[in-house]
Amino acid sequence: MSLENIKGSLETSFQNTIAIVQFGHPASNSFPRELLDKLTTKINELSRNERVSVIILKSQGVKAFCSGASFDELLQVENEEQGTKFFSGFAHLLNAMRNCNKLIIGRVQGKAVGGGVGIIAACDYVFAAPESDVKLSELAIGIGPFVIEPAVSRKIGKTAMAEMTLTAHEWKSADWAFQKGLYSVLSNSENLDNDVQNFAQKLSLYNPEALQEMKKIIWEGTEQWESLLIERASITGKLVLSDFSRNALRQFKK
């Protein structure tokens, strides 16, 4: 595998005032820290771009939307500082999505695990294919979905979030995620891209200032996330050093 593949990829294209951001990684679209940082930087950049009114966030391939954090990098964490720094990458990304003054439409074509579920929850509107099952597997590897929990709970409620977390080995169907509010629309795989594009096109024709004000209202009451998500990253960064987590991660890698 080439160095470029190991780092993953991030591509941005434009259709009039619509920005399409696509991330990818050969390991089921997982996120090493460098790719997380690139996506965070891109979201912040597009937020400042006055020519952009709507963002579509998608991933490569057809099988997995995102499998969360890179297990390879998690196994390389040697102390709490490194652990906190790694998981703060997800904290910074979720805050960037929350603070972005452009509406973010998620296009989910396949399964999502852990941090991938958090990214979906941080989108403002989400189209998903029927194959887009979800799972919060963190307890199975000795940690918890602490960083993404505020975003997930905000979308589906504490009860459903707890159900996902405590059944760490169990996939929840796309229909379950739709019924709980994680997904806004379920689309047939064949129609997914057209449905996303048509919706983005309609949004892009609205008053940009009205869209920005609506974004603020959607995310009212989340201002404390700036510090909260970093605090949660510290908790996770400590737990990932445990013998339980080390052994579990090695088993998952086999």
Residue 18 has pLDDT above 50, yes or no: yes
Give me 254's structure tokens: 């086999």
Confidence class of residue 5 from pLDDT cuts 50, 70 and 90?
low
Residue 4 has pLDDT above 70, yes or no: no
Q: Give the mean pLDDT of 227-232.
A: 96
Confidence class of residue 253 from pLDDT cuts 50, 70 and 90?
low
CA distances from 81 to 6, 236, 239 (A): 23, 11, 12
* Among 48, 154, 152, 62, CA closest to 107: 62
pTM for the full predicted model:
0.95
Burial (0-12, 13-18, 19+ Cβ within 10 Å), 190: exposed
Residue range 123-171, pLDDT digits in tens:
999 999 999 999 999 999 899 999 999 999 999 999 999 999 999 999 9
The whole-number pLDDT of residue 1 equals 37
The whole-number pLDDT of residue 72 equals 83
Is the separation of the CB atoms in 87 and 236 below 8 Å? Answer: yes
